[in-house]
Amino acid sequence: MNRVRELFPEREISVVIGDYRAGLNPKVNNMIPGYEKTRNPFVCISDSNVRVASGYLREAISHFRNPEVGLVNHLVRGVGGKSAGARLDNSHLNTFILGSVCLLDQVFGMPCVVGKSMLMRKRDLGALGGLHTVKDFLAEDYTLGRMFRKAGKRVVISGQAVDAVNVYRGVRQFLSRHARWNRMRLSIAGPAYLLEILANPFFLLVPLVAGSGGSGESLCVAGFVAVCKPGLDAAMNALIGAPVRLREIALGPVRDLLAAGVWFSAFFSRKVEWRGRTLRISRGSRLVPVDAEAAG
């Protein structure tokens, strides 16, 4: 950050170093010292691996011309993968995750906020209690979006995508990350979580083919899915401007089968390991320290 200040001496840039530990969400803990010091009327939250295009803030702020808008979120696409885990992560982000966000927003009118990029007026966020209100939630982004909607404010998902740069990541890291996300979604969605598996046709083929004894009809369905699902994945990548590479598309069946296993794991454990601490996810993604439960 000091280097940024040197490059732009005409800009008012402050570097804030804090040690806030009152929350169970370490990401929110990191943000609160800076949030408390900011003097700008807008608060922008963006992950460290996010890359944005020129005009990103200009486009995001333009939505606030409508006084009913309380939060602006962006679609996220994964780019830059070089290891198997990173390619799986980016592919899953660009297909299932992004597709689910668009479906909930456009079809069901339920904007699903992803914390890779959020912009809010500071006074609006302050009226809701500030970032302190989400310090004990795993899905602090979703919770903020829900709070704004309950307060009568609109949540807008911008069509201008931002890039989540995932270059090197192991397969185990991919599985661990999405196991945490699945447990989080189960705590939020409840029984509706069961519907997610319908978006995984490669996994659904397994019981179909096995249950039919490999009948001709089931094999025809399997062949149809084997052609259409990778094509749909490629179209989704092209639609959001992500590179369409044969290697990533070919990983689709493997990704979906791994994702199905992670999906099932959410029913067997509500615990997550996050930065060296074991936490349990309760309803609505609220975090509870396991050591506190044991002591009680």
b/e per residue 9-33 (b: at least 16 CB within 10 A): eeeeeeeeeeebeebbbebbbebbe
Instruction: Please tell me the total count of domains within the chain.
Output: 1
User: Could you tell me which residues are beta bridge partners of residue 155?
Assistant: 71
Find the domain containing 233 and state its range. 2-295
Q: For 112, list phi and psi in degrees, rounded to 5.
A: -105, 105
Beginning with the edge strand found earlier in the chain, give each strand of the sheet holding 50-51 in spatial order: 42-46, 117-121, 69-79, 154-165, 50-51
Q: How many CA atoms lie within 13 A of 66 on its CB side?
A: 11
| Tokens representing residue 71 in the block | 């939060």
CA dihedral 287, 288, 291, 295 (to 10 degrees): 170
Task: Kindly state the helix (H) or strand (E) to which residue 273 belongs, with its residue range.
Answer: strand 271-274
> Would you say 20 and 27 are in contact if contact means Cβ atoms under 8 Å apart?
no
- Give the chain's mean pLDDT: 89
**Residue 24's pLDDT band (cuts 50, 70, 90):** very high
pTM of this prediction?
0.89
pLDDT tens digits, 145-156: 999 999 999 999
b/e per residue 64-76 (b: at least 16 CB within 10 A): beeeebbbbbbbb
Question: Is the four-CA dihedral 63, 68, 71, 76 of positive or negative sign?
Answer: negative
Q: For 279, list phi and psi in degrees, rounded to 5.
A: -130, 155
Q: Give the pLDDT score at 6.
A: 84
How far is residue 187's CA from residue 7's CA, in Å, rounded to a whole number? 44
**Can you give the CATH number for the domain in which 202 is found?**
3.90.550
Q: Residues with Cβ < 8 Å from 2, sequence gap 6 or more? A: 15
Q: Give the pLDDT score at 258.
A: 94
Task: Kindly state the helix (H) or strand (E) to which residue 101 belongs, with its residue range.
Answer: helix 98-106
How far is residue 124's CA from residue 66's CA, in Å, rounded to a whole number? 14
In this model, does residue 294 exceed pLDDT 50?
no
CA-based R_g, the chain, Å? 21
pLDDT tens digits, 27-58: 999 999 999 988 889 999 999 899 999 999 99
Residue type, 143: T
Averaged over 281-287, what is the pLDDT?
95
Q: Give the pLDDT score at 295.
A: 46
3-state secondary structure 161-213: EEEEECCCCCHHHHHHHHHHHHHHHHHHHHHHHHHHHHHCHHHHHHHHHHHCC
Question: Is the four-CA dihedral 59, 61, 67, 70 of positive or negative sign?
Answer: positive
